[in-house]
Amino acid sequence: MSGGTSSDAALVLDRCHELDRYSAHPVHLERTHLTRQHAQANEVVAGWMADAGLRTWVDAAGNVCGRREGREPGLPALLLGSHLDTVPDAGSYDGMLGVVMAIAVAQRLHDVELPFALELIGFSDEEGSRFGTALLGSQAVAGHWLEDWWDLRDRDGVTLHQAFLDFGLDPRRVHEAARQPHELVGYLEAHIEQGPYLEARDEPLGYVTTIAGARRFRLSVVGEARHAGGTPYARRRDALVGAAEVITEIERMARASGDADEHDGCIATVGRIEVQPGAVNVIPGRADLSLDLRAANDEARDAMWARMERRLEEMCEARGLRFEAQERHRAPAAPCAPWLTDAVVAGIGSTGQQDPLGLWSRAGHDAMAMARITDIGMLFLRCHDGISHHPDEAVLLEDVEVGLDAFEAAVRATAASYAARELRSSPA
Ligand code: HGY
Ligand code: MN
Ligand code: MN
């Protein structure tokens, strides 16, 4: 064990802050899929991967990748990574911390002979901020690509297809990013918790049991635009008042669904609303809003959506409004593999932290997509007050220090259990 050094952790944080420079916005951090800032971040991260002794490339879906061979060339790879894209006005660590920590661990292990190749990846689009559908980079790696996605448009009307071409990628070759299950041993991701539970236990590290399944919708409440002065209330079909009732009912139903601190309960959020025609003196004729719905298991999530959709339709009808729902994204809940979770727990234990907290991740991660083709495991690091998707996102240097030690030890533990498994399965 090379053991933690605060300079390693300090370098990790410095690199996360270096990546803040590649932003579409002069003041806050915003780096989205297939933009110039994404290309810049890919280039810098590829340089760090090369410094750690990896061969690097950008795959056919825009993910930046690195690889070093194991004890012999061509072995299946343990893949470490996270994402380099952000939400608007983001913090510096959601995604980037996991990519930079993976590079630091690869650096520490560069002269250690492993029973597998070690691959690193900086995924190109975990958030879905630009085109609305998330996990585009990791879904391509998982071999799950829908042709409909090419027509997705960003807020400037640019299609995903055009964005690929502008980035220098050939849309016809996106399938070349797909990895086959036999090429991978598993996928490990270090990530900030993006919630308050590790801080509440006053512990720096935890592990993920399962990642919440998510569905995203565009909801529309349709009424009729009319004169704000001359129209009596009895004749109004005010889409914004209807949407306001819908939004509070969504929260009421989700909160009543159970204690999200445990494995039951759903979490629902309306993050965006657009009102037409949007004039001060016109009764809104239409309101379009986003819905983000999650739960620890898909059955609970889908049952909640069925109840919610019926209830929202009834509420809108009672006001003479039309309710429409269009699904934009769906990712199944992804359980972590016991053998990789054991390795993560062993890694945490190697830092002296015993009996770590296992959490169902309320946040989505690229690991959800990777679970389609390989086993996954996740290491969580405490983040200040659970803040994320906000510039106040913060981690402690000492937490990154123990996080690096735990991540390195988890890779070593994975190697040990993988080698033992190979030995058991090899002919006598
Ligand atoms: O939305 C999420 O949970 C993730 O941060 N993309
Ligand atoms: Mn995020
Ligand atoms: Mn993330």
- Model confidence pLDDT, tens digit, residues 321-352: 999 999 999 989 999 999 999 999 999 999 99
* Cα separation, 391 vs 360, whole angstroms: 24
User: pLDDT band at residue 423, thresholds of 50, 70 and 90?
Assistant: confident
∠ CA 165-122-46, nearest 5°, is: 85
Cα 129 to ligand 2 centre (Å) = 9
Q: Is the dihedral of CA 32, 34, 36, 39 positive or negative?
A: positive
- The pLDDT tens digits of the residues spanning 177-236 come to 999 999 999 999 999 999 999 999 999 999 999 999 999 999 999 999 999 999 999 999
Question: Ligand 1, closest atom to CA 194?
Answer: 5
Residue pair 200/380 in contact (Cβ under 8 Å)? The answer is: no
What integer is the mean pLDDT of 153-175? 98
Question: Which whole number is the average pLDDT over 257-279?
Answer: 85
| pLDDT for the residue numbered 171 | 98
Q: Percent of the chain, pLDDT > 70?
A: 97
pLDDT of 4 reads: 53
- Find out whether 379 and 344 touch, Cβ atoms under 8 Å: yes
pLDDT in tens, 100-112: 999 999 999 999 9
Range from 169-178, 262-271, 414-423 that averages highest in pLDDT: 169-178
Specify the pairing of strand 226-227 against strand 282-283.
antiparallel
Q: What's the confidence (pLDDT) of residue 425?
A: 81
pLDDT for 262: 55
Query: Is the pLDDT at 263 greater than 90, yes or no?
Result: no
Ion ligand 2: protein residues whose beta carbon lies under 5 Å? 94
Q: Does 264 have pLDDT greater than 90?
A: no
Which protein residues touch ligand 1 with a CB less than 6 Å away? 126-127, 134, 363-364
Integer Rg of the chain from CA: 23
Which atom of ligand 1 is nearest the CA belonging to 134? 6
Task: Over range 387-405, report the average pLDDT.
Answer: 97
Cis peptide bond prior to 277, omega within 30° of 0: yes
Judged by phi (left if over 0) then psi (alpha if -120 to 50, else beta), residue 335 lies in: beta
Probe residue for ligand 1, chosen from 126, 211, 380 as the CB with the greatest number of ligand atoms within 8 Å: 126
pLDDT tens-digit profile of 43-86? 999 999 999 999 999 999 999 999 999 999 999 999 999 999 99
pLDDT over 90 (residue 143): yes
Distance (Å) from CA 198 to ligand 3 centroid: 17
Residue 360 near residue 208, CB atoms below 8 Å: yes
Which residue from 76, 126, 117, 72 is spatially nearest to 98, judged by alpha carbons? 126
* Ligand 1 atom closest to 212 (CA): 3
CA of 19 to the centre of ligand 3 (A): 15
Over 50: is that where the pLDDT of 265 sits? yes
Q: Which residues are close to ligand 3, an ion, with C-beta < 5 A?
A: 94-95
Instruction: Kindly give the distance from the C-alpha atom of residue 426 to the centroid of ligand 3, in angstroms, as a whole number.
Output: 38
Residue type, 307: R
Q: What is the pLDDT of residue 414?
A: 98
**pLDDT category of residue 2 using cuts at 50, 70 and 90:** very low
DSSP 205: E
Give the total residue count for the chain.
428
Identify the pLDDT of residue 5. Answer: 60
Q: Are 37 and 31 in contact (CB under 8 A)?
A: yes
Residue 232, classified by CB atoms within 10 Å of its CB into exposed (0-12), middle (13-18) or buried (19+), is: exposed
The tokens for 311 are 């209830």
Q: What is the model's pLDDT at position 261?
A: 55
Cβ(80)–Cβ(157) below 8 Å: no
Is the confidence at residue 3, as pLDDT, over 80?
no
Question: Residue 190 Cα, ligand 2 centroid: separation in angstroms?
Answer: 13
pLDDT tens for 270-281 read 999 999 999 999
Q: Is the predicted pLDDT of residue 1 greater than 50, yes or no? A: no
Q: How far apart are CA 266 and CA 252, in angstroms?
A: 11
Longest dimension (CA), the chain: 89
Counting ligands in written order, which one lies closest to the CA of residue 363? 1
Inform me whether the pLDDT recorded for 95 exceeds 80. Answer: yes
Per-residue confidence at 422, pLDDT binned at 50, 70, 90?
confident
**Beta pairing class for 213-222 and 273-276:** unpaired
The structure tokens 């405490």 sit at 382
Which helix or strand (DSSP H or E) is residue 99 part of? helix 96-108
Residue 48 DSSP SS3: helix
- The confidence score (pLDDT) of residue 192 equals 98
Q: How far is the CA of 366 from the centre of ligand 3 (A)?
A: 8
**Hey, which of 89, 127, 362 would you mutate to test ligand 1's pocket, going by the most ligand atoms within 8 Å of its Cβ?**
127
Fill in the amino acid letter for 80.
L
Across all residues in the chain, what is the average pLDDT? 95
Question: For residue 194, how far is its CA from the centre of ligand 3 (angstroms)?
Answer: 8
Angstrom distance (rounded) from CA 124 to CA 274: 27
Say which amino acid occupies 237.
Answer: R
Measured over the CA atoms of residue 134, residue 375, residue 41 and residue 14, the dihedral's sign is positive
